Amino acid sequence: MDTITRLFDFPYYQLEKYKLTEALATKYGEKWVATSTQEYIDKANAFSRGLLRMGIKKDDKIAVISHNNRTEWNIVDIGILQTGAQNVPVYPTISEEDFEYILNHSESQYVIVSNEDLFNKISSVKANVPKLKEIYSFEDIAGCKSWNEILELGKDTANQQEVEDIKKTITTEDLATIIYTSGTTGRPKGVMLSHKNIVSNVLMSEERVPFEHGKSVALSFLPVCHIYERMILYIYQYVGVSIYFAESIEKVSANIKEVSPDVITAVPRLLEKVYDAIIAKGTDLTGIKKKLFFWAVDVGHEYEPYGANGPWYGLKLWLARKLIFSKWKAGLGGKLGLMVSGSAAIQPRLARVFAAAEIPVMEGYGLTETSPVIAVNDMRNKGFKIGTVGRPLKGVEVKIAEDGEILTKSDSVMMGYFNDPEKTAEAITDGYFHTGDIGEIDKDGFLKITDRKKEMFKTSGGKYIAPQLIENAMKQSRFIEQIMVIGDGEKMPAAFIQPDFAFVKSWASRKGLSVNSNQEIADSKEVHERLQEEVDAINKKFGHWEQIKKFELTPDVWSTEGGEMTPTLKLKRKAVKEKYKKLYDKIYGGDK
């Protein structure tokens, strides 16, 4: 098979080229269980046969909702696609109201869930979803049908020819999936992606990722219901990478040590946590070891690619790698040579220090609507520039509109929003998708994102504020875990800050301060004063009109469950502002 035109072609291509014994691996209890390429295809075909016997037809919709990435998800994905039906992946952490909306809007006939919690949530709304026939589960749950029943139904191969005949009718232009964007505002929109949209993105992106074909190992843990990780999984299948699925985000560090991956995909929030954990270990050192550790970190923060800092820096870097950074790499399994980051901007100091430690982070950029990658950095051919999202992929056209918005055109741009021609017409004009991001292309062709068009705001004095730039700078403080800049229509910018509670507690105990709860930290005058020092120092990097004039500390850890973050860990600005209305009024009350 030389040409891949549909998503279900990837496993067959892998079988022909690499025939892996460990194509997919999931941990059940204490044991990693691997599935070979052949077994993957056999099970996907059994699943397709079972679906056909259940009466599934072309363009029917099946929702798949899993709390973690797993082998079963991929088998089901290929099994659904081979019947001409569409896989509608759904985030597991959304509200029951959103589940009900998505299942009705997509007209899903079946739902496959991963566990009891999700089964209960879907069961509670099932009566309000008239087209939903049945719920199946990956895990054994009392009172719920098992996905194994569909495999069992397809065990008899008598209708395999029917599967083959249907596959022949599926073209690259056909709809493959509908992905509901979590969105920071309003109802989720159903992004329609064709086989061609995603396949083209896989083939274009693969050119930017240096894999040892047929030999590399990846650890997957970002939600596969998001197009970013899902597209990456198809790349892995295409180049013969063995995919291990982490048990959960919480267990990633343990799983990295067990699996020793060559590559992982990450989001900046996760990289910040990894970095903070490493720095915390360094803080616990004493004497010369501590001095050496922080000397190496300082060397890392000065890193520039391609030896731009000269031979004297090169010598310092060699020493820092030998003495300190080699231990960082060992702590991440020993083999990790590449991390690909998307979803939000990474702090440049993190990009520098991880590259210095020989675990480079290749930052990329894209949206669900662009399947997703528009641009990505690549260490090779001088394709890596810190502070940018790399050069656009070959085959992706990018232009900057008069107001600074990034517009893009390629085979990866979505078919449109499901049942929403109005919003589709707003988003795509003359084939160009309006990203809603503000950016610029530098003289070397690198794309730089400066802000979200919708998130930029004006103060009452008419000055534009780009909140993400300020937030990213402020998050470099070890005292600040999350921050949201506010001030739309107000006379000055201010912020809500969620302190790094664990770090503040250790700082407080060193100072002999008694703060036991998160609320006590948020209320503490001493903590506020110390954070004021951090804010004042970072403010100096910005123009006077951009500086944070006031801030309030919040007692909650911002999270997806708490409603402050989207599932890809972006701020839900409207929700955060509403949640802390009292703090907002305290900052601006009677002060307009």
Q: Helices 348-356 and 268-283 sit at what angle, rounded to 10 degrees?
A: 60
Contacts of 191 (CB under 8 A, 6+ apart): 178, 179, 180, 181, 227, 368, 369, 414, 417, 418
Residue 349's SS3 state is helix
Composition of the chain by helix, strand, coil, percent to 5: 40, 20, 35
pLDDT value of position 182:
63
Among all chains, which residue has been given the structure tokens 């079988």? 15
pLDDT at 462: 76
pLDDT of residue 421: 96
Whether 450 and 436 have beta carbons less than 8 Å apart is answered as: no
Dihedral, CA of residue 213, residue 219, residue 224 and residue 230, to nearest 10: -10
Q: Which residues of 154-173 are buried (b: 16+ CB within 10 A; e: fewer)?
A: beeeeeeeebeebbeebebe
CB 62 within 8 A of CB 75: no
- What are the pLDDT digits (tens) for 325-362? 999 999 999 999 999 998 777 888 899 999 999 999 99
Q: Where are the alpha helices (DSSP H) in 126-175?
A: 147-153, 160-169
Provide the β-strand partners of residue 88: 63
pLDDT at residue 343 in the model: 76
pLDDT of 346: 86
Determine the pLDDT at residue 591.
45
- Structure tokens belonging to residue 26: 């999931």
Task: Say whether the peptide bond before residue 268 is cis (omega within 30 degrees of 0).
Answer: no
- Residue 97 to residue 221: CA distance in whole angstroms: 26
Q: Which two tokens stand for residue 497?
A: 């800050």
Give CA–CA dist 399/155, Å, rounded.
Answer: 51
The span from the CA of 3 to the CA of 505, in Å, is 57
Query: Which stretches of the chain drop beneath a pLDDT of 50?
Result: 184, 591-592
Distance CA 522, CA 516 (A): 11
**Contact yes or no for 541/469 (Cβ under 8 A):** no
Q: What does the pLDDT read at residue 567? A: 78
* 299: CB partners within 8 A, 6+ apart: 313, 316, 317, 320, 356
Q: What is the pLDDT of residue 181?
A: 86
Domains of the chain with CATH codes: 9-170+209-259 (3.40.50.12780), 457-588 (3.30.300.30)
**Three-state DSSP class for 200?**
helix
**Which pLDDT belongs to residue 566?**
83
Which of helix, strand or coil describes residue 147? Answer: helix
Alpha helices in 485-542, H assignment, sequence order = 501-510, 518-523, 525-539
Q: What is the pTM (predicted TM-score) of this model? A: 0.85
Listed in sequence order, the residues at least 6 apart from 100 whose beta carbon sits closer than 8 Å to its beta carbon are 125, 128, 129
Nearest CA among 370, 381, 306, 380 for reference residue 342: 370
Nearest Cα to 96, choosing from 114, 72, 113, 120?
Answer: 120
